[in-house]
Amino acid sequence: MARDLAYACDPVAFANDCGVQPDPWQRAFLRRPPRRGLILACRQAGKTETCVLLADHVAHTEPGETIVVISPAQRISSEFIRRAKGRYLHLAGAELANDAVQRIELPNGSRIIGLPGEADNVRGIARVRLVLIDEGARVSDEIYAAVRPMLAVHPRGQLIGLTTGAAKRGWFYEGWIDPESDFEKIRVTPDMCPRITPEFLASERKALGETTFRTEYGLEFLDDQEAAFPNEIIDGIFDKELRPLWV
């Protein structure tokens, strides 16, 4: 009982007992997760691990809640569930009421469900406490639109997207660059992860090439690689003030 109270008061204590010593940015996030949040982080900064801990913490401390994980592919969502299971079972005395590839359920009735990025698969789940969109910059606008109503009737519903850099398009990019969006934005650079060394980054830059390195570690949104011309050039061709002649 005292341990559960300590977990409810301090998610970092919960993370420690799950076998994780969070970095400073992770501690700050776990102790005050935003209602609407976007995490733009470099590779291997621990963004998914952080959200695994958040999902486990909500499920453990809030009975009867539903946490949904969305990603571009079922493989990614299932890996999230596998990691959530592993971290949770690291707690002394922890057990699961139900255990499957795509979901786990705790004895208190809370469940964590992993879904692929397909609109038909994400509809029909209501009153969700927490939605996590993994690799959010690669999840379509259609899926994002289908996900938001899940939170409509939950008074404490949270939505958090997490990703590395990607192309200059989509809901995550638009939310990130919009100064008036309702998202709190969290930027996690390589220097915020003590396990990423300058030597490793230099090796990655050489191996990946400049463009890929800028998205994977530089947190940049770039023009689609397939485009013949950058977006700025294409935008400059058109006069946005022109009106159709028949109006």
* Rounded-to-integer distance, Cα 26 and Cα 16, Å: 12
The predicted pLDDT at position 246 comes to 41
Contact in structure between 47 and 162 (CB atoms under 8 Å): yes
pLDDT(237) > 70: no
**Would you list the DSSP string of 76-96?**
HHHHHHHHHHHHHTTSTT---
* Span 139-163, pLDDT tens digits: 999 999 999 999 999 999 999 999 9
The predicted pLDDT at position 229 comes to 41
* Rounded-to-integer distance, Cα 44 and Cα 20, Å: 15
Contacts of residue 66, defined as CB under 8 A and 6 or more positions apart, other chains included, come to 110, 111, 113, 125, 127, 128, 129
Q: What is the DSSP letter of 229?
A: S
* Rounded-to-integer distance, Cα 81 and Cα 100, Å: 9
pLDDT(116) > 90: no
Tell me the helix, strand and coil percentages in the chain, rounded to 5: 45, 15, 40
* Span 171-198, pLDDT tens digits: 999 999 999 999 999 999 999 999 999 9
Region 68-82 average pLDDT: 96
Helix axes 47-61, 24-31, angle to 10 degrees: 30
Region 47-72 average pLDDT: 98
What domains are there in the chain, each with its CATH number? 2-237 (3.40.50.300)
pLDDT(199) > 70: yes
Q: What is the DSSP letter of 108?
A: T
